[in-house]
Amino acid sequence: MDSKAAVREVLARGEPGYIPFGAYAIDCDTVRRVIGRETYVRNKVATQLALWDGRRDEVAQSVREDSVALFNKLPSVDVIIPFKEGLLLPPAGYEPEKVKKISDNTYESESGYIYRVSAETNEVAVVKYPEREYTAESFVNAGPPAPPDPTIFEAYNHLVEAFKDTRYLAGQSAGLGCMPLLGGMEDGLVRYYTEPETVKACIDWYVRNENALDKYYINDGIDGVFVETDAATTRAPFMSPAMFREFCFPAMKKRIENIKRFKPDVFFHSCGYTAALMDMFIDAGVGCYQSIQTGTGMDIKFLKDNFGDRISFWGGVAVELLIAGTTEEVRADVRRAMEAGKRDGGFILGPSHSVAYGSNYDNFMAMLDEHDKLKYL
């Protein structure tokens, strides 16, 4: 049984010949160790600075070559999300927005965004959004979206082409804007209470645009589609289940229905403790939930006991252990997740999130090795 057949059996909640492995994303320090050279793959700070500087083709060449080299070196990875390592790029010949450095780790764009760069976590975060007035009318009256420039898919398509015959590819769609946060996290959540009609108009605008654009984003070479939106903290959803059902669930369902016009299998990533929303994820058409954050209480046994007859799961190995645990602790966590997950099928092993920046390389390799030892049922 090959990667594609094994994953398809998981999605049918059957018991494949072996338990597949997939990583949500592999960050640059681990990529560097695997391929033996510096890279822009998942190198968020270096990539952003290079793109601001107009060095798009330099980034594109590295990502094209190094993403393929990475997975050639990792034959036991059955599921690839090609837009994670093979990121979508600015179009060829683009004019980068002018950005000025205003402190050692802070940058401001001419459009008013303020970014903070962290060398410790290799992240670039928006810390201030430009002042903008949002109205329901502006979303209702917005015109249709323009098709994307095909050159944005240069690295992504290269990775898809390299592995479309040998690995299961959970690829790109036009997005999942079912929980927009207008003006950032804090302001955006408050608007669900203070400006509900504006938020609903924005959600409708996202659905309308994304449905229209799927035909450009969903590559024929992929096997399924991977969508994501964070909906919870480590303790509870961002909003009550009733509010999620009112605002977000209808849009999520419409988006997945449209995606399934192109590909039948839909994977969904959402961080945090989302158990109270899981029935809605299932009803919306999600076939496999990825991001089993064990540290939040999203234990694979709990999820399988309560939802495993209706949805498959992907994850289970605590990323915290990949970063700060010992190799034996990682191996023990793999054994625990495999034992709980393999019952009644419908399970893909992987980290609870990405192979995050700062992960211990020996721990990463121990996870792969332990999975290889135990994967055959």
- Give the pLDDT score at 273: 95
Q: Where are the domains of the chain?
A: 3-97+146-374
Q: Which of 3-17, 244-258, 340-354 has the highest mean pLDDT?
A: 244-258
Split at pLDDT 50, 70, 90, the class of 14 is confident
Band (pLDDT 50/70/90 cuts) for residue 296 is: confident
pLDDT at 15 exceeding the cut of 90:
no
Amino acid at the residue 206: Y
The arithmetic mean of pLDDT across residues 340-348, rounded, is 92
The percent of residues above 70 in pLDDT, for the chain, comes to 100
Q: What is the pLDDT of residue 344?
A: 87
**pLDDT confidence of residue 8:** 97
pLDDT at 295 over 80: no
State pLDDT tens for residues 102-142.
999 999 999 999 999 999 999 999 999 998 999 999 999 99
What's the mean pLDDT in 44-62?
A: 98
Four-way CATH pick for 3-97+146-374: 3.20.20.210, 3.30.70.20, 1.10.8.620, 3.40.50.300: 3.20.20.210
Query: What per-residue confidence (pLDDT) applies to 205?
Result: 98
Q: Give per-residue pLDDT as tens, 215-258.
A: 999 999 999 999 999 999 999 999 999 999 999 999 999 999 99
Please compute the mean of the pLDDT values over residues 188-207 and round it to a whole number. Answer: 98
CA nearest to 158, candidates 224, 80, 226, 211: 80
What pLDDT score does 294 carry? 78
Give residue 53's pLDDT. 97
Predicted local distance difference test score (pLDDT) of residue 343:
86
pLDDT band of residue 377 (cuts 50, 70, 90) is: confident
The reported pLDDT for the residue numbered 75 is 97
Q: What is the average pLDDT value for the chain, to the nearest integer?
A: 96
Residue 173 has pLDDT above 80, yes or no: yes
